[in-house]
Amino acid sequence: MYAMRAPLHTIVAVALLAWCCAAQAGERIVMSITMDPERTPTGRLMLLVYREALRQAGVDLEYHYYPPLRGTVLAKVGRTDGEIGRGVEYGPAHPELVRVEESATGITVAAFTMDPAITLRGWGDLHGTAYRVGYSTGHLLFKYRLEAALPESSLAVVNDTRQGLMNLALGQTKVYVDLYDDVAPLLTGDQYRYAGIHLAGVMEKPPLYAYLGKKYAHLAPRLAAILKAMRSDGTLARCQAEVDAAFGPAE
């Protein structure tokens, strides 16, 4: 007996259907984002911008918010395909990742204190002081800048923003450095616990980049070109307007 064979046109139709389904599903990239898109304007902006840039590159973005140190570990072991929201100094420390050489936005690094007499206008203002300064782990920029300004004995590394603010409130540190976007919601949301903590000054406003693992390293030049075009055609401005409508205009 002979096995029944499907007509050629049926085989072609099934193959086309499978191809269309695969095309519609699209390629998916899993990335961590260093700032919570639900709670911070910079996190929301990065999500909107990179989701659109990747869509234009034919890739669907699956994102997860992780604190900086956890994001580093997950990317290093291949649990994620890269990170969104890292500074330029991150690249040399992580050669397993490839930077997308076009920044979508920047971030405000700020110093906070309980002392009304302390005003800071940059990292240089810390030189020669006796301040004990806290900062959150996982941010290489903070580490590099503070170690260049103060002796190691003057620095206090904490696991997260809440711990850093609590140390400041208890007088264990004189200054606390972190991302403005991470601190501002906590000061507004828990004014009793953090009473007296205020902005001492802006330390730096560095650009932020996306970093890709080896699997998607080939996308880096394409994404850089897309981001540049999005800046020129007003897409980035429209994303910023959407963020401003949700969180209020940027400080």
Residue spans of the domains in the chain: they are: 26-106+206-247, 109-204
Q: What is the pLDDT of residue 3?
A: 42
pLDDT tens string 195-213: 999 999 999 999 999 999 9
Do 109-204 and 26-106+206-247 fall under one CATH topology?
A: yes
pLDDT tens string 150-166: 999 999 999 999 999 99
Confidence of residue 55 (pLDDT cuts 50, 70, 90): very high
Over 80: is that where the pLDDT of 47 sits?
A: yes
* Closest alpha carbon to 179 in 41, 75, 31: 41
For the record, the structure tokens of 42 come out as 């910079």
State which fold the 26-106+206-247 domain adopts: D-Maltodextrin-Binding Protein; domain 2 (3.40.190)
Confidence of residue 251 (pLDDT cuts 50, 70, 90): low
State which fold the 109-204 domain adopts: D-Maltodextrin-Binding Protein; domain 2 (3.40.190)
Q: What does pTM read for this prediction?
A: 0.81
Q: What is the pLDDT of residue 112?
A: 98
